[in-house]
Structures are given as structure tokens and as C-alpha cells.
């Protein structure tokens, strides 16, 4: 067998990457001076007096996130306009010079507190590009930026993620900044060692578009060169044309296949995040109140991102009141209701299975039903094919199967198919490529007791940690009428 494939199969996530992956679904909150000027990219010369939400309520944001089943929230503490949502000691351009709460307010504090109280994780977006600060374009700006990071990472409790985007334009003096990425990372590792550094950072890979487009085969093991911030910046938005967030660049569909990694010097664990907005823009615009994504659209992205070995970062822009608009809030509640009812009953808990091979008792194939992410089935090293037959104990109607690899051991499955027994014959049910952290397979509903999973291609030796079976909410009614 190829040694490079064996090596690729053994690249594993860090502890922080594992914890982050399990968050699955979390929100982006774009809120700031642009909310009050109806812009997407502020120029940096907007008057702080414009920032004045009337009925600001961070608890409402957190409730909306939770209603959809989200487990975290990332706030734009400073966007490209440079206006800070906390009273930074290093600039006058912040909430402290706005009329909101008489200049004594702190949005970052209110949101981080609300997240903690609501039991979801809190993360920060801090734009390196700054169109306001006069230091931008000199080394003084890097010091300023690090000081801002220090404030955000010491005063607001546990931070699960620091999100750096790739936008890098000119500052107020017409100069561009050479970012001290390594210096920024050092501050983060020192102050919040468990925080992920996302996009222009070493821990989370940007999926490459803002439209919600996902790859069929999303590998978490990819060549190291994808971490290069300059390349990430090249692919990012360069002009505020209102088009970028809907553009799909499909040039790089294949980042981790055998062909894509062959001959590469170094491979790394660099898992993908899918980020998109619930509306066309990232910031709130009243004109987009009727352009909120449909539940079908959101479900589709959810299934392909969370169910396609990525995480899903969905943007919800609060309005000028400081609230998430009713239309968006209703959509989120509806999404949450469907997801909760779909995944409420795992029809494979208590099922039994046999596998063509098993490494040893510790890796018995019935571990895939035990609901424990640390236990898993695997076979002898070097065996790339496998067949697992599952008895659900009863005839069941289902249309969704969830598979999980034991990614603590690496990502290995490349191709599999699932059949079900119908009148004594195996019939094709579905197939997929990679699995990784989680793969959600959907198909027209069937009624069956026996299911067969065939791993057709994998790297070195596949693992399986979970096999779950569900009937989605849209088909419940059929169950009752049959």
C-alpha cells in the first residue's frame, strides 16, 4: 500500500479542533456602525453618534440561536470600518463615544454574558483591515491590533474562536498593512489556548465561498499550503459590490483526494467551516426583510455542511433596534423545530450488527450503536474494504442515516454504499464519498429491518463510531397514516 496514504490516514485533529467540531452549528452576528448607515462596508469616517440601538437585547440573540439548535455565537467586535463594540482603551472610535447607554455600554460584555447565561459558546471576529485607524499601514497598527486582542481575550471569559477574515484593503492613509499573523496567533495561544483561530488562521479552513455552497467530499486532511494567509486573502472579497457573498468559485472542489495530496510535502488536519448569511447581506438592511432564506434552503445547507464533515456558521444580522428581526427569528425557530423532531428518535439504538472483520473485542461492531464517540469499530490494519450488516430488530420506516468516523484516529472513508433488504433481495438505498466527523445521508423513505453498509474505498483501515437511523419530520405523517 502507498505509504503516503497510510500517513494521510494517521493525521489527527488537535484537542481544540475536536471540541470545536462538536459545536456543529453556530451563529455569526454582524452588528455595528453599518447597521445604522445601511452599508456593508463602512468607510471608517462614520460618526460614532450614529450607533444607538433603541431596544438592544443580547438575550434575544442568544434565544434565537438556541431555538435553531446553535451552540455558539461569533460577534463582529470590529468590522472593516474600525468602530469597536467595546470601550477599547486604545482608540476613541468605539461605543464609549456613542449615545448608546450614555457611552457607558459594552456590547461585547453584554453578548458574552448572555452566551454564558444561555449555555452557548462565545467567539470574536476582529477585522484586521481597519479603515479608520491612523496607525494602519505601520508597525504601530500591529501593536494596536494585538492590544485589542488582549482586551477581548482577557475581559470576556472563555472564547471558543477568534475569526480573522481575509479582507485587506487600504487604510485612511491609503496604505496597506503587512499583518503580523504570527504575532497575533501568539497572543491568542497565550491568553486563550483553547480558542480556534479561524479562516486566516491555522485551525479552521474557510470553505472558499460565502454562498453556502458545500463540497461533496470535504476532507479535513489537506496540504499545508492551504493555511497560507496570503492565498486566503486573494480568494476573499476585494470590493464591496454586493455580489461576492453569493458567488461560488468551484475551481477548488477537490482539496483532499488521493490526487490532491499525492506528492505534497506536508499534510495537516485543517477542517472546513461553511459560512453564509441568512439574508443577502452580512449587515441588516430593512430592504432585505423579505429576503430571508427559506427553511428548505437552510435545511439543505445544514445537511450538506454539518452532515458533510464541516461546521455551519450562519449569519443573523440584528437590526437598528438591536434585535434579530421577527422574520429571521421565526425562520430559526422553524429550523430548530424540524431538526429536533427529525433527530429525536434514533431507530438504530439497540440494533445489532455483524462485520466481515473486526480487529478485536474492543472494537466490536456493535460499538457503533452505543452513542459513545470514543468507542468505534475497526478491522485489521491495511484492510480497506468492509461489509457491515445491520438488524434494526423491527421493520422501520426511515429516510435518513447518520454516519460518524472516529476522527480521533483520522479521516479514512472515501466511498461507501448502503443497501436495504426488500422481499429477500438487497436493494440500493444511497451512497456517499467521505464521512469524517459526520455524514448525513438522505433518501426517499423506505421500510426495512435489515440494512447493509459496504465500505468500498478507504485509507489504510476505516473506522466507524456511529450509525444512526431517523425518519425526518416531513415524513412523520406518512408513518401515522400507514
Residue (95 or 274) nearer to ligand FUL, CB: 274
* H-only helix segments in 282-323: 295-305
For residues 145 and 129, give the distance between their C-alpha atoms in angstroms, rounded to a whole number: 10
For residues 56 and 320, give the distance between their C-alpha atoms in angstroms, rounded to a whole number: 8
Supply 93's cell numbers: 472610535
Residue (236 or 465) nearer to ligand FUL, CB: 236
Residue (77 or 368) nearer to ligand FUL, CB: 77
Q: Residues in contact with ligand FUL, total (CB under 6 A)?
A: 7
Residue (160 or 206) nearer to ligand FUL, CB: 206
For residues 429 and 399, give the distance between their C-alpha atoms in angstroms, rounded to a whole number: 9
Residue (166 or 256) nearer to ligand FUL, CB: 166
Q: Which of 165, 399, 419, 468 binds ligand FUL (CB under 6 A)?
A: 165
Q: Is 322 helix (H, G, I), strand (E, B) or coil?
A: coil
Q: In whole angstroms, how close is the CB of 470 to ligand FUL at the nearest point?
A: 32
Q: Which stretch binds ligand FUL (CB under 6 A): 163-171, 380-388, 422-430, 470-478?
A: 163-171
Antiparallel, parallel or unpaired: β 413-422 and 439-458 = antiparallel
Q: Under the criterion CB under 6 A, does residue 167 sit at the interface with ligand FUL?
A: yes
For residues 402 and 469, give the distance between their C-alpha atoms in angstroms, rounded to a whole number: 6
Q: In whole angstroms, how close is the CB of 122 to ligand FUL at the nearest point?
A: 17
Residue (220 or 237) nearer to ligand FUL, CB: 237
Q: Which of 236, 276, 309, 379 binds ligand FUL (CB under 6 A)?
A: 236
Extended beta strands in 20-129, E state = 25-29, 72-78, 121-126
Extended beta strands in 215-371, E state = 221-223, 267-269, 272-277, 310-315, 352-355
Residue (200 or 388) nearer to ligand FUL, CB: 200
Q: In whole angstroms, how close is the CB of 415 to ligand FUL at the nearest point?
A: 33
Half-sphere exposure of 165 (CA within 13 A, CB side): 24
For residues 157 and 61, give the distance between their C-alpha atoms in angstroms, rounded to a whole number: 18
Q: Which stretch binds ligand FUL (CB under 6 A): 100-108, 160-168, 177-185, 474-482?
A: 160-168
Q: Which stretch binds ligand FUL (CB under 6 A): 162-170, 215-223, 293-301, 363-371?
A: 162-170
Neighbours of 360 (CB within 10 A): 9
Residue (167 or 418) nearer to ligand FUL, CB: 167
Q: Give the contact letters, 281-320, x = binds to ligand FUL (CB under 6 A), - = no.
A: -x--------------------------------------
For residues 351 and 392, give the distance between their C-alpha atoms in angstroms, rounded to a whole number: 5
Q: In whole angstroms, how close is the CB of 147 to ligand FUL at the nearest point?
A: 22
What per-residue string of b and e applies to 225-260 under the rule 16 or more CB within 10 Å gives b?
ebbebeebbeebbeeeeeebbeeeeeeeeebbeeeb
Cβ(26)–Cβ(71) under 8 Å?
A: yes
Q: Under the criterion CB under 6 A, does residue 94 sit at the interface with ligand FUL?
A: no
Residue (21 or 275) nearer to ligand FUL, CB: 275
163, β-bridge pairs: 125, 198
Q: In whole angstroms, how close is the CB of 293 to ligand FUL at the nearest point?
A: 16
Antiparallel, parallel or unpaired: β 205-206 and 272-277 = parallel
Q: Which stretch binds ligand FUL (CB under 6 A): 165-173, 318-326, 376-384, 444-452?
A: 165-173
| Closest residue to ligand FUL: CB criterion | 165
Q: Under the criterion CB under 6 A, does residue 151 sit at the interface with ligand FUL?
A: no
Binding to ligand FUL (CB under 6 A): which residues in 27-46? 40
Contact set with ligand FUL (CB under 6 A)? 40, 165-167, 236-237, 282
Amino acid at each position: 500500500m502507498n505509504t503516503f496514504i497510510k500517513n494521510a490516514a494517521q493525521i489527527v485533529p488537535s484537542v481544540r479542533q475536536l471540541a470545536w467540531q462538536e459545536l456543529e452549528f453556530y451563529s455569526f452576528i454582524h452588528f455595528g456602525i453599518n447597521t445604522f448607515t445601511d452599508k456593508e462596508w463602512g468607510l471608517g469616517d462614520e460618526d460614532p453618534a450614529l450607533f444607538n440601538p433603541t431596544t438592544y437585547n443580547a438575550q434575544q440573540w442568544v434565544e434565537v440561536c438556541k431555538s435553531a439548535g446553535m451552540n455558539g455565537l461569533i460577534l463582529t467586535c470590529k468590522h472593516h470600518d474600525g468602530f469597536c463594540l467595546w470601550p477599547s482603551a486604545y482608540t476613541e472610535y468605539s461605543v464609549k463615544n456613542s449615545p448608546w447607554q450614555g457611552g457607558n455600554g459594552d456590547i461585547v460584555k453584554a453578548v458574552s454574558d448572555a452566551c454564558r447565561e444561555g449555555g452557548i459558546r462565545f467567539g470574536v471576529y476582529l477585522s484586521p483591515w481597519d479603515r479608520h485607524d491612523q496607525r494602519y499601514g505601520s508597525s504601530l497598527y500591529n501593536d494596536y491590533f494585538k492590544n485589542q486582542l488582549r482586551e477581548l481575550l482577557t475581559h470576556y471569559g472563555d472564547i471558543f474562536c477568534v475569526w480573522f477574515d481575509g479582507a485587506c484593503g487600504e487604510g485612511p492613509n491609503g496604505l496597506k498593512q503587512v499583518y503580523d499573523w504570527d504575532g497575533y496567533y501568539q497572543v491568542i495561544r497565550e491568553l486563550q489556548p483553547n480558542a480556534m483561530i479561524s479562516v486566516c488562521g491555522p485551525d479552521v479552513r474557510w470553505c472558499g465561498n460565502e454562498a453556502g455552497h458545500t463540497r461533496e467530499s470535504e476532507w479535513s486532511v489537506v496540504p499545508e499550503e492551504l493555511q497560507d494567509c496570503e492565498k486566503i486573502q486573494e480568494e476573499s472579497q476585494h470590493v464591496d459590490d454586493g455580489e461576492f457573498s453569493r458567488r461560488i468559485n468551484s475551481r477548488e472542489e477537490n482539496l483532499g483526494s488521493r490526487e490532491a495530496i499525492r506528492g505534497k510535502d506536508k499534510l495537516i488536519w485543517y477542517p472546513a467551516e461553511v459560512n453564509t448569511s441568512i439574508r443577502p447581506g452580512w449587515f441588516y438592511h430593512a430592504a432585505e426583510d423579505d429576503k430571508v432564506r427559506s427553511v428548505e434552503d437552510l435545511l439543505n445547507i445544514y445537511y450538506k455542511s454539518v452532515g458533510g464533515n464541516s461546521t455551519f456558521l450562519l449569519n443573523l444580522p440584528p437590526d437598528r433596534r438591536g434585535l434579530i428581526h421577527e422574520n429571521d427569528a421565526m425562520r430559526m425557530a422553524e429550523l430548530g423545530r424540524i431538526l429536533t423532531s427529525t433527530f429525536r428518535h434514533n431507530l438504530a439504538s439497540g440494533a445489532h450488527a455483524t462485520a466481515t472483520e473486526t480487529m478485536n473485542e474492543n472494537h466490536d461492531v456493535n460499538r457503533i450503536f452505543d452513542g459513545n464517540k470514543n468507542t468505534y469499530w475497526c478491522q485489521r490494519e491495511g484492510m480497506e474494504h468492509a461489509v457491515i450488516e445491520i438488524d434494526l430488530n423491527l421493520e422501520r420506516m426511515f429516510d435518513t442515516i447518520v454516519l460518524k468516523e472516529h476522527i480521533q484516529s483520522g479521516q479514512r472513508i472515501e466511498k461507501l454504499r448502503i443497501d436495504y433488504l426488500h422481499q429477500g433481495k438487497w436493494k440500493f438505498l444511497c451512497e456517499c464519498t467521505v464521512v469524517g466527523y459526520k455524514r448525513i445521508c438522505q433518501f426517499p423513505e423506505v421500510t426495512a429491518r435489515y440494512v447493509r453498509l459496504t465500505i468500498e474505498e478507504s485509507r489504510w483501515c476505516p473506522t466507524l463510531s456511529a450509525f444512526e437511523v431517523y425518519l425526518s419530520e416531513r415524513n412523520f405523517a406518512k408513518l401515522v397514516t400507514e
